[in-house]
Amino acid sequence: MKWNKFRLKTTTQAEDIVSSMLMDLGIQGVEIEDKIPLTQADKEQMFVDILPQIQEDDGTAYLSFYLEEEEDKEQILSKIQAELEEMKSYVEVGECTIEESQTEDVDWVNNWKQYFHQFYIDDILIIPSWEEVKPQDKEKLVIHIDPGTAFGTGMHETTQLCIRQIRKYTTNNTKILDVGCGSGILGMLALKFGAKYSVGTDLDPCAIEATNENMEVNGIQKNQYEVMIGNIIDDKEIQDKVGYEAYDIVVANILADVLVELTPVIVNQMKPGGIYITSGIIDDKEETVVKAVEKAGLEVLEVHYQGEWVSVTARKGRK
């Protein structure tokens, strides 16, 4: 199906009001482009593999929306212009020029693949299924990852910090729990490092499909890795299902504020002497997480840094 795309030039001051107006007119899925700098809170919330590079804000914003070919675009555009004229009396809306182009349906779920290519973490090759392993990489530890709609390609600094710590502490008897498993990359790499069994929990049901697909391409059996959906922080059923004092390693690559809530709960899942690996911690939240870890009765063993991100590794005391 072909769509008519319209790109409206306005101001950052008016972008929210104009976006709301477009939705009131029945237009869904408005895309906003601006150069407003990210706040510290924005950086923490944009917990993605590749953070955007944003140029200096010039006060300009572009709002893009789409209309099907059979829709009466002249009537809709006329209504939009009338609304914009009315807005001029109380907000600076800028030029309000509208560029029109035509586009076809895009497979948005798979379109990101053009940006994800094989890369290395130390001697580990992380490669999507649609790329071939080069002859010179045959001897590397290879893991195939297609994150799909679940988080986790391994490109983000926080994931890499976790991978190195998991490798350091994994033995042939390790049972590992990954809280917020996403694509399953950490649990699968633990198995590649020799771990005995992996369990993952996540809030997003997409994690099950993503992990199962990645397990299949990596030759990991279903009796080696289990994924459960639910919030282990406050869901007793999930806590019971995951089990108590059952894990040699617990890894949580989650934002700092969530780690503060998670830590006093998750110590119950750890074996005495178990290792707790955390990341997802922006540098100015390091002390907050360290205090939470220590308050939960864990001994901080190591703190590592990569870019703006921090990983804290701790140990549960032995009885």
Q: Which two tokens stand for residue 79?
A: 């209504």
Q: What is the model's pLDDT at position 120?
A: 86
**Of 170, 171, 242, nearest in space to 201 by CA:** 242
Give every CB contact of residue 4 below 8 A, 6+ residues apart in sequence: 66, 67, 68, 69, 71, 73, 100, 101, 102
User: At residue 44, does pLDDT exceed 50?
Assistant: no
User: At residue 297, does pLDDT exceed 90?
Assistant: yes
**Of 47, 256, 279, nearest in space to 163 by CA:** 279
User: Which residue type sits at 265?
Assistant: V
Whether 290 and 314 have beta carbons less than 8 Å apart is answered as no
Whether 296 and 316 have beta carbons less than 8 Å apart is answered as no
User: At residue 70, does pLDDT exceed 50?
Assistant: yes
What is the helix (H) or strand (E) element at residue 242, kind and residue range? helix 236-242
For 195-208, the pLDDT digits (tens) are 999 999 998 888 88
Q: Please state, in angstroms and rounded to a whole number, the distance separating the CA atoms of residues 180 and 204.
A: 9
User: At residue 177, does pLDDT exceed 50?
Assistant: yes
Overall average pLDDT of the 32-46 stretch: 59
Q: Which residues on neighbouring strands pair with residue 6, listed in sequence order?
A: 65, 100
Determine what percent of the chain is predicted with pLDDT higher than 90.
51
User: At residue 47, does pLDDT exceed 50?
Assistant: no
Q: What is the model's pLDDT at position 253?
A: 93
For 75-106, the pLDDT digits (tens) are 999 999 999 999 998 889 999 999 998 776 55
Q: Which two tokens stand for residue 65?
A: 């929306």
Q: What is the model's pLDDT at position 114?
A: 64
Q: Report the chain's mean pLDDT, rounded to a whole number.
A: 86
Banded pLDDT at 132 (limits 50, 70, 90): confident
Q: Which two tokens stand for residue 140?
A: 């590397």
Helix axes 185-192, 206-217, angle to 10 degrees: 30
**Of 253, 148, 126, 152, nearest in space to 209 by CA:** 148
Q: Which two tokens stand for residue 40?
A: 């510290």
User: At residue 33, does pLDDT exceed 70?
Assistant: yes
Q: Which residues on neighbouring strands pair with residue 178, listed in sequence order?
A: 200, 251
User: At residue 41, does pLDDT exceed 80?
Assistant: no
Overall average pLDDT of the 256-264 stretch: 94
Q: What is the model's pLDDT at position 48?
A: 44
User: At residue 149, does pLDDT exceed 80?
Assistant: no
Strands of 167-208 (E only): list them.
Answer: 175-179, 197-202
Banded pLDDT at 40 (limits 50, 70, 90): low
Q: What is the model's pLDDT at position 203?
A: 87
Whether 144 and 214 have beta carbons less than 8 Å apart is answered as yes
Parallel/antiparallel/unpaired status of strands 98-104 and 31-33? unpaired
User: At residue 172, does pLDDT exceed 90?
Assistant: yes
